[in-house]
Amino acid sequence: MSLQISVITAVMNRADTLGDALRSVHGQSWAGVEHVVIDGGSTDGTLDVVRQHRAGIATLVSEPDSGLYDALNKGIAAATGDVIGFMHADDEYASPYTLERVAAAFEDPSVDAVYGDLVYVSRKEPSRVVRYWQAGRYHRGLLALGWMPPHPTFYVRREVYSRLGNFDTRFRIAADYDNMLRLLWRGRVKAAYVPEVLVRMRTGGASNRSLLNILTKSREDYTALRQNGIGGLQTLLLKNVTKLPQLVVRVAAAH
């Protein structure tokens, strides 16, 4: 039986971009995909977009929630696949074969997490790449140097979430970072790298939408580092400094 991958999309008032995300999931060559959509009670036409693509959605929940991470936790609870990943409402897969690449990496039974590269694209011109996040190969010590995999490319066996926990909703912006530290650092989960761009992500996410959000994220990142026993201010500084090379855009990433 082929690997079943649950893809969770949490959405709130993203009628302008959601259609691209849904088409991207439903256009994947990998047959074993379970798409779970968690809507927070959108009022802008998002549900009309969802209805247009309803045939490709295995589970749809539309109700008020307590924010993104609460919605993602609902998605994890609803998922039944062997592996869980996320497709945010502003993002798209880089290729119709992305999940095929992810599934191939999970053929190694010792691998519990898989990730790849990511490009940020202009919100107004999604064909234009503005930042290239080349994640590189994983080893645990990199986490203490501020390294992290791009969360939109991060796929994890469902039993790992059952064993190590979902997103801590006390974090408003950095629950994904906290969760990855918990899995990779404290849980010592083995991760495999797919050396290609897996996701195209639009700029303008919550973490960098305003100065207040940037400060909140830095504070939450520091809290995540401390409570996972991995480091403090030095690691936080390195985490931000290591992002600078991502601004050197590779021409190949645009295609």
Q: Using the predicted structure, report yes or no on whether residue 251 has a pLDDT greater than 60.
A: no
- Total domain count, the chain: 1
| 69-95 pLDDT per residue, tens | 999 999 999 999 999 999 999 999 999
The H helix count followed by the E strand count for the chain is 8, 9
What is the structure's pLDDT at 209? 55
**CA separation, residue 206 to residues 56, 148, 202, 223 (Å):** 27, 18, 11, 18
Contact status, residue 219 vs residue 169, Cβ threshold 8 Å? no
How far does CA 82 lie from the centroid of its chain?
17
Whether 25 contacts 35, CB under 8 Å: yes
Per the rule left: phi > 0, alpha: psi between -120 and 50, beta: everything else, 121 is beta
Q: Are 251 and 130 in contact (CB under 8 A)?
A: no
For residues 186 and 181, give the distance between their C-alpha atoms in angstroms, rounded to a whole number.
7
Containing structural domain, residue 220? 5-254
Q: What is the DSSP string of 28-65?
A: -S-S-EEEEEEE----SSHHHHHHHTGGG-SEEEES--
- pLDDT of res. 1: 52
Query: In DSSP terms, which residues pair with 37 in a beta bridge?
Result: 9, 60
pLDDT digits 0-9 by tens, 114-133: 999 999 999 989 889 999 99
Position 237 pLDDT exceeds 80: yes
User: Which CATH number does the domain housing residue 36 bear?
Assistant: 3.90.550.10
Both structure tokens of 169? 């909703």
- DSSP per residue over 60-103, as a string? EEES--SSHHHHHHHHHHH--SSEEEE--TTEEESSTTHHHHHH
Q: What is the pLDDT of residue 254?
A: 45
Q: Is the pTM of this model over 0.85?
A: yes
